[in-house]
Amino acid sequence: MMSSGARKFTLAVHLTLSIGWLGAVAAYMALDVAAATSDDGQRLRAAYLGMELIALRVILPLAIASLTTGIIISLGSKWGLFRHYWVLISLVLTMIATVVLLIETRTIRSYADVARDPATTTEALRALGSTLFHSIGGTVMLLVILVLNIYKPRGMTGYGWRKQQKERAP
């Protein structure tokens, strides 16, 4: 169990990283909407290049750091990592979001590579499409995690219940 000061510090870092992740996804989604709706070649080129930069240099590091600090804070607090369903669901959703992001970075990189080539035509850029489906899905997932962590619905896992009974026993 962490000391109160260490737990508060870790929680502050975790919240900062998680909120930053959500904000970076919002910035990415703005570029993704521009890529999905624009007919202007320069705007498309800029959107794809910006999406790559935000995804690889901001979202991905924030996702990994948020996952890591979430595990640390849960292990060092009364909530535990496997005691409560809301913590376990948050962990699983965060892991899924991070894995999907890692997979999706290949698509983002390939779109940016096409956009980086000065010989690429506006028509070719329009044909790339967007990653909007994943952007929206990721945002919904992050918001579900946020709500779970604020409301902390009741419900202990079997492991958590056994652990609690063991702690109460004389």
Reported as a pLDDT band with limits 50, 70 and 90, residue 161 is very high
What's the whole-number average pLDDT of the chain?
A: 95
Q: How is residue 28 written in tokens?
A: 């990415």
Whether pLDDT at 169 is above 90: no
The Cα–Cα gap between 59 and 72 comes to 20
CA distance 165 to 156: 12
Q: Which two tokens stand for residue 21?
A: 């992740």
Does the pLDDT of residue 99 top 90, yes or no?
A: yes
The answer to whether 33 touches 63, Cβ cutoff 8 Å, is no
Give the single-character DSSP code of 84: B
Nearest-angstrom CA–CA distance, 106 and 86: 31
**Tell me: the pLDDT tens digits for 64-77?**
999 999 999 999 98
